[in-house]
Structures are given as C-alpha cells and as structure tokens.
Amino acid sequence: MEKQNNNPENQQNYRKSGFLSYWVDIFRPGAKKSRNVNLKVMHGINKISIIMFLICLVVMVVKCVR
C-alpha cells in the first residue's frame, strides 16, 4: 500500500491544478472521453457561457473606454 502524502501544500497545488485543468480540458476536443451524455451537455453549456461572458466583458471594457 502506498503512503499518502497529506502535506497541505501538495493538496493546495492539486486543487489549483485540478481547477486549471478543468478549464483547459473544456476547450480541448476529445481530451477526456466522457461516457455520460449529461456531462457532455454540461461541458457544452459551460463553453457557451464562458464565451458569452468573455464577449460581454470585452463589450463593457470598450464602452467604458469610449
């Protein structure tokens, strides 16, 4: 049986890398073959919402600059 490293620093780094890898994997086609259709739909909706948010952010910045 392997020893588990319960170092808080390692756990924090894992959480950060897991968070970042989720956002990168959403936009990587075929990165993780999800078996569940509901999960695929959820990732599709997340893609749409992220893109809409970024577009709105750009529009708001442009309006503030003018």
User: Which pLDDT score, from 0 to 100, does residue 9 have?
Assistant: 57
Tokens for 56? 């709105």
User: Which pLDDT score, from 0 to 100, does residue 61 have?
Assistant: 96
Residue carrying structure tokens 């968070």:
19
Report which secondary-structure segment, H or E, holds 20: helix 8-26
Q: What are the extents of the domains in the chain?
A: 8-65
* Phi/psi at 26 (5° precision): -60, -40
Regions of the chain with pLDDT less than 70: 1-19, 22-23, 25-27, 29-35
